[in-house]
Structure formats: structure tokens, C-alpha cells
Structure 1
Amino acid sequence: MALADVARRLEDSLNRRGTVKRVNRGWRPAIIGFTGYGSTSSLHVLGRAVMADPDSKPLFKPPRLPPATHTVLGQVKEAFEQAEKLSETAQRGWRQFFTTQVGFLPVTVHAGDKVISTRTDRSGYIDVLVQDHGLEPGWHEVRIEAAAAEPITAKVLVVKPTATYGMVSDIDDTVMVTWLPRAALAAWNSWVRHTNTRKAVPGMARFYRELLDDLPDAPVFYLSTGAWNTLPTLEVFLTLNGFPTGPLLLTDWGPTPTGIFRSGQEHKKTQLRNLIITFPEIKWFLVGDDGQHDPIIFDELAREHPRHVAGIAIRQLNPVEQVLSHGLTEAIDERRFDDDEARYGVPTISGQDGFELMAKIDELEKGCPGR
């Protein structure tokens, strides 16, 4: 039997025992709604079912929807309030990972004109594609119901059909300073540190605002190999530091049919292709760092789908950050050659922080004729 199979069986066994133990203590399933996304024709509704103590506070109450009248100042105020609540209760990120997921739980999703019945997957995740939902462009709430659980609402973003540009950004080492060995990064950022004490990469929020300044319809997605459990604190971090609002596309750390842990590279490649399929008319700015594999992932996408990539921006880690990221003082992936831009028509810029990238923004905007 493969090691991955052993890991999956062990995870399932531990989870079943945890579920029985918590049911006997009076716990019940609870749904956590993630931020979904889609077009006017199809919508991804995302969430997860976990066991929860009915007498405790909600696991995560997401910030309210950002309607047109909801100012940036209001969003920041709400984020501060949520961060203060986390601090008051001394909530540390490690608590987010001690959850018992509820696999194969019957779930019903109400999105616009549609009602979809399904089940969570073995890890408790919900990923429902709703066709012809009837929702107008903008932010909405969908209702998720599950057996023995309280109904919840989840945020979803319906992108305007007039959008022709968008942005996909990595998180760790791109917008968030980590300064830890990659092997310990997740444990420290998610298990030990208070959730409202993370540092932003200098100038990155300003770079994003400048890049999207005259693209009001452009959707923004945050694509990371981080676990879904960290979503609440990441949303607070992005809002507190002035980054554009947008769905987060995270992953699960559990075993798969081919390995003990999920492949971060495959997660990013899959999600990028899903965005191209969902939004065939949008050209994407791809923003990442050279500490792991973002340059080669973005380059492959530009080679395969040059019509869908407007430009690539790479944050260059310094030698110390490179060592902490993967053990070497230099980037592990080679940068694109100069002739790649001529062959694929996708401009690429790089810099050590958002300020250096902003100085080269005119080069990046070459991929946006007529913007």
C-alpha cells in the first residue's frame, strides 16, 4: 500500500473518531462559508463543514459585503474591529487547525434562482458550480444549508461581463513578509503568532492600487498554497493593509491519491486555468515572488495562453529570504529570457518591493493596449 494511501486512511480514521467524540459532547456540524466567485452565467460557491461547539462563538464571521456605498474607510474600520476581537480573546492561529471536518454531509446551496443539493467531499469541503444563477454583477450572499447545521450565508463575487482585465496575486513573500524557513512558515504564521501582527511587503498595496487605478471592473484574486483554515485572518490582514478586496483561493494540506501533501504548484496551475475558463475575455496581471515557483508557473501560463496574460510582476527576495524560503541564496527558478516577451507578447517586471515594481509599471502596462 502506498504511503499516501496509509496517510489518507489514518486521517479518515482520526477524523471519524474525532467526530464521534465531539457528537457525544454535544457538538454539531457547522458550515464555514468561503468567498466564492463567478460570472453572470456560472458561479463557484465554496465552504467547509466542521464540527463545532454550539455554545461557543461562531468559528468565523466574515466581514460584511462591500457594496458601492461601503467606503474603504468603513472596510478598514470593520477589519480593525475584527482584529481587536481576535486579540481580546487571545486567539492564536494554531486554533484554526484543530478542526474536525465533516465529510459527505448533505448540503443545499441557494444561489440566485438556483437550488443545488450535493454533499461535502471527504475533507468536508464544498465546491459547487451553479449555472444560470441569475445574479447581477457585484457582491452577493448565497445561503448554504447542511444536515444538523445552522444555515449560513457566504460572500460571492459576480464579475462584470465588461471586465477585460484582472489580477491574480500570491500572498506569502509577495504581499506578506514571512522571514521564516518555508518548513516553519505555516506553523509560525498560522499556529503561533497573533493573527493581526503580520507585516506587509512595503509598497505592494500601493502598487496594486496604481496598477488597477483605471480598471474599476477588474477582479482581484489571491492565490496561495496556504490552507483554507487561515482564510479569516488573511482577509483581515489584506483589508488592514489596504489591499484590494477579492476572493482567496487557498488549498488543503491533507493527503491526496498521489502524495502525503497536496502539490502547491498543481494547486496554482489548476486555479489559474479555472479562472481562464470562467472568464475567457479577461487578461490577467500575475503577481508573485521568486522564492518558490511563481516565475515558472506564470511563464508556463503565458506560453500556453498568451492572450490571457497581460503582464507578470515578480517580487525578488533578498538572499536571506531566499535561504529561508528554500535553502539557497538564489532563486530556484530561472527568470524568463528577454526574447520570451517578443515571442509571447507578455511583459515581465521585477523588483524587491512594491516601490521598485511601481517604478516599472509603464513596462507592465504594455500588455494593456487601449486600457
Structure 2
Amino acid sequence: MFRKKALRINTYLSYGTNTLFRATGRALEDENVDFSTNQNLFKTLHNIYKQFESDEIRNVAIDIKLPNEDTIETTTDPEGYYNISKNIDTSTLDPYIDNKGWLTFFVSYQNNTLSRTIKNENVFKSQMLIPSNKAEYGIISDIDDTIIHTGVASLFKWRVIANTIFKNFDKRTAIEGTVKFYKKLHLGTKGTPVNPFFYVSNSPWNLYDYLSAFFKKHYFPKGPILLRDFRTPFDKTPKPKTPHKQSEIINLLNTYPHLKFILIGDSGEKDADIYTKIAEYYPERILAIYLRNVRHRRKEKRIKKMISSFNASPILLFKNANEAIKHAKESKIII
């Protein structure tokens, strides 16, 4: 008889406000995925396989314990995800928010609901970002080929597959100058690291730990990583009508109506189309749009044509981060 695997809860950094609590994560069997450094090819393949082969714990009761001892109850969906958005009075939580806006809370399986072993003594840490009232603006950034070399513009996207499956996170390279640019945006013109970052990608939630480890290794500003559900050819659930990136950005704009935002992406996919459309829908909310040139002649030509007729907000197609830094300084976005 096979021994049942231990259980864990994969928690994802979330974002909210002084009146809105949000938490997202997934209940799973523990696959012992190890994202340490200097791993060989076999171990890397094993890790990636285990992330996508994950066995979810569906329809199970979850407790979210806030630092003021309040508890919020929720239940995982048929794919093991919990995604709660609840209006609450967080005034009692203010003392627990750190100086960068992060509120720490803990997630656990509800007592007496499972008879299986649970990792970490059934205590899983998570955090929610509440942007500081000192923030000048927020930054929303794409990931693939914007901050990490991926190859989304390659033929049949073969580089995306090769880079993700065959390279451990510590073998992946950040786009040159990106960390420097992002740290300057994080500081803004006041020199205080309070401008909030949000990372949006079409990658599946299965790659969350992989991407999170990459961000930490390269010291990118900490922020929620907003991914999407992994769809298979046999997935019968209806596809979302609004593209994932567009939906996430609109939600951020609506969640923080007092904040203006900077959008960062690349010329490889649909970032330019999504960002310009959002800037036109939300006039005066987008401070600037930065698009990294992935040096694909046909795509570059299309983006330049689009930029020539766009005037809803400042927009720059740049080849290296120094060009973006120079533009941001001239626009008085950074110092």
C-alpha cells in the first residue's frame, strides 16, 4: 500500500488596502521540490516536472489567522486554490504592518478536517502588501523578456520551453540594468523604498516558487507575482474574456484609485497593445509606459508605428535600461 504524501499550502504574496483583505494560495501534496542553487540538469527537470504534476487538495477548509488573532475561514476550489477578497476593518492591524507596507499572516488547514501529515506543523506564512500613503506611484512589470531572458519572440517559443525546463533559476540571467532601474523606481524622487511593485505574467502559478527564487537571487524589489491558472487542452472551464495581464492591471488600478502607475513590458508579445489600451481607458493614471525592445524586426516596426500615433501617456521603446533611466530622470519620476 502506498504511503500518502504530506500536505502543504503554497502561499502567494497578495495585495490589499486598509479596508480590503486579500489572500491567495493553493493546497497541495508536498512534492519535496528543492530550489537550492547549483543543481544538475536531472534535478532541474525533476523540480519542473513536480511543479506541473502537483496534486491539489480540493474543497478543503482553510483558516487564515491574522496577527490580531482574528481568523478568516475559506475553502479551496476544485483545483486546490483559495482566493479570498474580504472587506474588513484593518485598523487593528495597522501596528502589524511593517515600514514597507507588508502585513504578515498565517494559513493552515482547518483542524480535524484531515488525517494526513501536514508540513511545517500546519503553519504557512503569507504576506499582503498595503502600499504606503507615502508612495508616489506604483509599478506594474511584465516578467518574460522584460526582466528575465526568456525568448517569447523566438520561433514556436522554443527558447521559452528550453529556458524554463532545462535551467534552474540560478542559471537564468536578469536583463542587464533592470535591477538598477527597478530599485530607482522603488525609491522614486523621495529616496524611500515605498513605491509598490507588482509583477504580472502569463506564466502559470506552478512556476511561482521558481520565479520567486529568481527575484530574491537578483534582489528585485519585493512585490506580488500575479500569475494565472495552468490550462490543459482538456480544460473545460471557459476561457476568460479579458486577457490575464489586462485584467490584473485593471484590478490594480481600481484597487488603488489614488495611485498613478508606471507600466513596464517588452515588444515581444501583446504588452504594447494592452498597455496603450489601458492608458486610453484610464487617462491621467499612467505616468509612463516602458517597452524593452526584444530586437525582432517585424515586431519593432509594428510597435514604432503604434507609438507614433499614441499620446495618452509618455511611452518609450528602449534597447537598454540606461535609456529608460535617462527618460525617467528627465520625466522627474526618479532622481
Query: Which position in structure 2 is the counterpart of 1:115?
Result: 71
Q: Give the whole-Å Cα distance in 1 for the aligned partners of 2:49 and 2:327.
A: 39
Q: Give the whole-Å Cα distance in 1 for the aligned partners of 2:156 and 2:206.
A: 18
Q: Give the whole-Å Cα distance in 2 for the aligned partners of 1:273 and 1:256.
A: 26
Q: Describe the shift of the 1:187–1:348 C-alpha distance in structure 2 as closer, same or farther (beyond 3 A).
A: same
TM-score, normalization by structure 1: 0.74
Q: Give the whole-Å Cα distance in 2 for the aligned partners of 1:331 and 1:107.
A: 50
Asked if structure 1 preserves the Cα contact closer than 8 Å seen for 2:206 and 2:230, the reply is no
Note the C-alpha offset of 1:186: 4.8
Query: Which position in structure 2 is the counterpart of 1:46?
Result: 24
1:357 lines up with 2:329 in the alignment? no
1:245 lines up with 2:212 in the alignment? no
Written as runs of structure 1 = structure 2, the 5 A alignment for 1:228-307 is: 228-254=205-231, 255=235, 257-259=237-239, 266-307=243-284
| SS of equivalent to 1:307 | coil
Q: Give the whole-Å Cα distance in 2 for the aligned partners of 1:336 and 1:107.
A: 47
Query: Which position in structure 2 is the counterpart of 1:129?
Result: 85
Note the C-alpha offset of 1:355: 2.2
Note the C-alpha offset of 1:28: 4.0
| SS of equivalent to 1:306 | coil
Query: Which position in structure 2 is the counterpart of 1:68?
Result: none
Q: Give the whole-Å Cα distance in 2 for the aligned partners of 1:338 and 1:112.
A: 51
CA offsets, 1:118-150, max 9 Å, x none? 111221111112332343342232111224342
Equivalent residue in structure 1 for 2:310, among 340, 343, 352: 340
Note the C-alpha offset of 1:171: 0.4
Equivalent residue in structure 1 for 2:145, among 173, 176, 192: 173
Q: Give the whole-Å Cα distance in 1 for the aligned partners of 2:20 and 2:39.
A: 35
Asked if structure 1 preserves the Cα contact closer than 8 Å seen for 2:26 and 2:82, the reply is yes
Equivalent residue in structure 2 for 1:161, among 133, 157, 160: 133
Query: Which position in structure 2 is the counterpart of 1:18?
Result: none
Task: Please tell me the root mean square deviation across aligned C-alpha atoms, in Å.
Answer: 2.9
Query: Which position in structure 2 is the counterpart of 1:312?
Result: 289
Query: Which position in structure 2 is the counterpart of 1:84?
Result: 37
Equivalent residue in structure 2 for 1:188, among 140, 159, 162: 162
Note the C-alpha offset of 1:46: 1.2
Q: Give the whole-Å Cα distance in 2 for the aligned partners of 1:278 and 1:355.
A: 31
The worse-fitting range, judged by mean Cα deviation, of 98-107 and 351-360 is 351-360
Q: Describe the shift of the 1:358–1:250 C-alpha distance in structure 2 as closer, same or farther (beyond 3 A).
A: same
Asked if structure 2 preserves the Cα contact closer than 8 Å seen for 1:38 and 1:278, the reply is yes
Read off the aligned partner of 1:104 and give its amino acid letter: N
Note the C-alpha offset of 1:88: 11
Runs (5+) with no aligned partner, structure 1: 1-20, 61-81, 323-327
The worse-fitting range, judged by mean Cα deviation, of 292-301 and 193-202 is 193-202
Runs (5+) with no aligned partner, structure 2: none
Q: Give the whole-Å Cα distance in 1 for the aligned partners of 2:169 and 2:316.
A: 31
CA offsets, 1:209-262, max 9 Å, x none? 233333532100111111112112212212222321111111112236334xx6
CA offsets, 1:64-94, max 9 Å, x none? xxxxxxxxxxxxxxxxxx6437669934433
| Deviation beyond 4 Å, 4+ runs, structure 1 | 85-89, 328-335
CA offsets, 1:85-115, max 9 Å, x none? 7669934433321211122221121234442
Note the C-alpha offset of 1:305: 0.8
| SS of equivalent to 1:229 | helix
Q: Give the whole-Å Cα distance in 1 for the aligned partners of 2:145 and 2:251.
A: 24
Q: Describe the shift of the 1:235–1:52 C-alpha distance in structure 2 as closer, same or farther (beyond 3 A).
A: closer
Note the C-alpha offset of 1:338: 4.3
| SS of equivalent to 1:135 | helix
Q: Give the whole-Å Cα distance in 1 for the aligned partners of 2:57 and 2:302.
A: 38
Q: Describe the shift of the 1:168–1:221 C-alpha distance in structure 2 as closer, same or farther (beyond 3 A).
A: same
Equivalent residue in structure 1 for 2:181, among 199, 203, 207: 207
Q: Give the whole-Å Cα distance in 2 for the aligned partners of 1:184 and 1:50.
A: 29
1:143 lines up with 2:115 in the alignment? no
| SS of equivalent to 1:211 | helix
Q: Describe the shift of the 1:330–1:348 C-alpha distance in structure 2 as closer, same or farther (beyond 3 A).
A: closer
Read off the aligned partner of 2:18 and give its amino acid letter: T
Q: Give the whole-Å Cα distance in 2 for the aligned partners of 1:126 and 1:85.
A: 33
Note the C-alpha offset of 1:29: 3.3
TM-score, normalization by structure 2: 0.81
Asked if structure 1 preserves the Cα contact closer than 8 Å seen for 2:186 and 2:221, the reply is no
Q: Give the whole-Å Cα distance in 2 for the aligned partners of 1:268 and 1:209.
A: 23
Note the C-alpha offset of 1:329: 5.7
Q: Give the whole-Å Cα distance in 2 for the aligned partners of 1:182 and 1:123.
A: 29
Q: Give the whole-Å Cα distance in 2 for the aligned partners of 1:123 and 1:269.
A: 23
Q: Describe the shift of the 1:337–1:329 C-alpha distance in structure 2 as closer, same or farther (beyond 3 A).
A: closer
| SS of equivalent to 2:203 | strand
